[in-house]
A and B are shown apart, each in its own frame.
Chain A
Amino acid sequence: MKGGCPLQALASGQSFLSQKGENKLNFRPDIIAEYMPFFLQGTLLTLGLSLAGILIGLILGLLIGLGKMSTNKLVKLPFVWYVNFFRGTPLLVQILLIHFGLVPLFMSPSNPIVSAIIALSLNASAYIAEIFRAGIQSIDKGQMEAARSLGMSHVQAMKLVILPQAVKRMIPPLGNEFIVLLKDSSLAAIIAAPELMYWGRAAQGEYIRVWEPYITVAIIYLILTLSLTYLMNYIERRMNTQ
């Protein structure tokens, strides 16, 4: 290992900029090269976790959002507290509770990927429920009245009049939520789900180097989130020209 004793490097702040070894910057691309296959594998899992979280979160979120809009207080209450809990407690705590508490009730040993998907989906659904609710309630109530006055049922009015307008308004906050979800999936590293951040930590652990693995991981996350940003912008533009 170049750069002397790893512990010394750690104690001295471990910055490749301050270390004067045989190469001036003492940056070790070989670590990145060695770990690249794992980073790419991790990236795939990160994408998988995020996609699963988004899809399940969307379905659950729609149901919870509708439940939260119920005029019946008893029906509404559990949905309100669902959102309160998952929005009001840290995702990290939720992941640990689900992985070491909830999932072991159904499978043993509990699979970190399953736990991560459950935690991310439940967490995202709470935020998505609020996005749905806000989107639907932002539509002028005259729209519902006009639709109902023409003889449409509540469901027809929702489907034909309210939702097509509300979905347009939901796209920007949903895009935001997807980006947050993608980044939050890195917390799954704590339960050893082998996603991108997990491999970053593994490389850091093996070489006791901070910059090489974490900068690489950060750049990969940035590429993912930027791609998502452009995708959402594209969808937004397309919906506006319709």
Chain B
Amino acid sequence: MISTKNLKKSFGDNEVLKDISLDVKPQEVVVVIGPSGSGKSTFIRCLNLLESVTGGHVYVTGKDLTDKKTNINDIRKDVGMVFQHFNLFPHKTILDNVTLAPVHVKGMKRAEAEEKALALLKKVGLADKAKAYPDSLSGGQKQRVAIARALAMEPKVMLFDEPTSALDPEMVGEVLEVMKQLAKDGMTMIVVTHEMGFAREVGDRVIFMDNGYIVEENEPVELFSNPQHERTKAFLSKVL
């Protein structure tokens, strides 16, 4: 579904991703953990080319994103993304936030897009906020709208870049709940997070990244209870 081969990324002289190869299967939920500065956010942002890639390859549904002939806008229709800081469009209502891309990118009719958007908002529990503006929502509500907005494009895979890191603790649960439901529905997901409980419960596979490398990967139960690598042990002893 989505894979990388010897992916490298540098910012100037600073090599953030050194050699990342990963293969995510359809319907798989991969959780990426690691200390800050390990390159997890950069990695997930390379998967839809929000960051340009310095070396290696990124494949989404078989197409090589690093190939200049690939139309990145077409690929991005299939790759939803949820950001740490929500990035809702503040000048649009919640409903318009969700319908904007389907109408303008997919050419969907407004009535049809709104019907779908309302169904999605209902799914994330915010149908009553359709006419509100993002400013009037809590952080947790904003993030649920952001998820609905990404889902409105009917993506084949969803990327979550620390979706709960900017939230007040009491709002983390409602967002994770939506994500769990999404995983249950069979969505392919890659999630960068510090929520170890979520990783354990929902993840099919957990990846531990440090210093630009994938240090260790395993099923969550195995990785959390029996880490093989020293750095994994050191990290987990601090966060668990």
A residues with CB within 8 A of B: 140, 142-143, 145-153, 156, 160-161, 164-165, 168
Chain A residues in 8 Å Cβ range of B70? none
Q: Which residue of B lies closest to A142 (CB)?
A: B87
Which residues 35-85 of B have a CB within 8 angstroms of A?
A: 48, 50, 73-74, 76-77, 79-81, 83, 85
Chain B residues in 8 Å Cβ range of A152? 73, 101, 104-105
Chain A residues in 8 Å Cβ range of B153? 150-151
**Which of B79, B83, B105, B106 has the most chain A CB atoms inside 10 A of its CB?**
B105
Question: Roughly how many angstroms separate A148 CA and B110 CA in the complex, as a whole number?
Answer: 20
Q: A149-B50, A150-B105, A156-B105 are in contact. Are A161 and B89 (CB under 8 A)?
A: yes
Q: Which residue of A lies closest to B76 (CB)?
A: A151
Do the beta carbons of A165 and B90 come within 8 Å of each other? yes
Q: A156-B104, A156-B105 are in contact. Are A150 and B87 (CB under 8 A)?
A: no
Question: Roughly how many angstroms separate A156 CA and B100 CA in the complex, as a whole number?
Answer: 11
Question: What is the minimal beta-carbon distance from B91 to any residue of chain A, in angstroms?
Answer: 5
Question: Roughly how many angstroms separate A164 CA and B89 CA in the complex, as a whole number?
Answer: 10
- A-B contact list, 11 entries, CB within 8 Å: A142-B83, A146-B81, A146-B87, A149-B48, A149-B76, A149-B79, A151-B74, A151-B76, A160-B104, A161-B89, A161-B100
Question: What is the minimal beta-carbon distance from A139 to any residue of chain B, in angstroms?
Answer: 10
B150 within 8 A of A: yes
Do the beta carbons of A140 and B73 come within 8 Å of each other? no
Chain A residues in 8 Å Cβ range of B90? 165
Question: Roughly how many angstroms separate A94 CA and B48 CA in the complex, as a whole number?
Answer: 49
Do the beta carbons of B105 and A145 come within 8 Å of each other? no
Q: Beyond A148-B73, A149-B50, A151-B74: 12 further Cβ-contacts under 8 Å?
A: A142-B87, A146-B87, A146-B89, A150-B77, A150-B149, A150-B150, A150-B153, A151-B105, A152-B73, A152-B104, A152-B105, A153-B73
Question: Roughly how many angstroms separate A172 CA and B70 CA in the complex, as a whole number?
Answer: 42
> Closest 8 interchain pairs by CB?
A146-B87, A150-B101, A142-B87, A151-B77, A149-B81, A151-B76, A151-B105, A164-B91
Chain B residues in 8 Å Cβ range of A150? 76-77, 100-101, 105, 149-150, 153
Q: A149-B50, A150-B101, A156-B105 are in contact. Are A142 and B76 (CB under 8 A)?
A: no
B residues with CB within 8 A of A: 48, 50, 73-74, 76-77, 79-81, 83, 85, 87-91, 100-101, 104-106, 146, 149-150, 153
Question: Roughly how many angstroms separate A132 CA and B17 CA in the complex, as a whole number?
Answer: 36
Question: What is the minimal beta-carbon distance from B63 to any residue of chain A, in angstroms?
Answer: 14
Question: Roughly how many angstroms separate A236 CA and B105 CA in the complex, as a whole number?
Answer: 31
Chain A residues in 8 Å Cβ range of B48? 149
Question: Roughly how many angstroms separate A142 CA and B79 CA in the complex, as a whole number?
Answer: 17
Question: What is the minimal beta-carbon distance from B117 to any residue of chain A, in angstroms?
Answer: 13
Question: Roughly how many angstroms separate A152 CA and B89 CA in the complex, as a whole number?
Answer: 14
Question: What is the minimal beta-carbon distance from A241 to any residue of chain B, in angstroms?
Answer: 12
Question: Roughly how many angstroms separate A165 CA and B83 CA in the complex, as a whole number?
Answer: 20
Chain B residues in 8 Å Cβ range of A145? 50, 83, 87
Q: Which residue of B lies closest to A139 (CB)?
A: B90
**Which of A142, A151, A152, A161 has the most chain B CB atoms inside 10 A of its CB?**
A151
Chain A residues in 8 Å Cβ range of B50? 145, 148-149
**Which of B74, B88, B90 has the most chain A CB atoms inside 10 A of its CB?**
B90
Question: Roughly how many angstroms separate A151 CA and B171 CA in the complex, as a whole number?
Answer: 29
Chain B residues in 8 Å Cβ range of A151? 73-74, 76-77, 101, 105-106, 153
**Which of A140, A147, A148, A150 has the most chain B CB atoms inside 10 A of its CB?**
A150
Chain B residues in 8 Å Cβ range of A147? 89, 101
Q: Which residue of B lies closest to A150 (CB)?
A: B101
Question: Roughly how many angstroms separate A140 CA and B91 CA in the complex, as a whole number?
Answer: 13
Q: Which residue of A lies closest to B51 (CB)?
A: A145
Q: Which residue of B lies closest to A145 (CB)?
A: B50
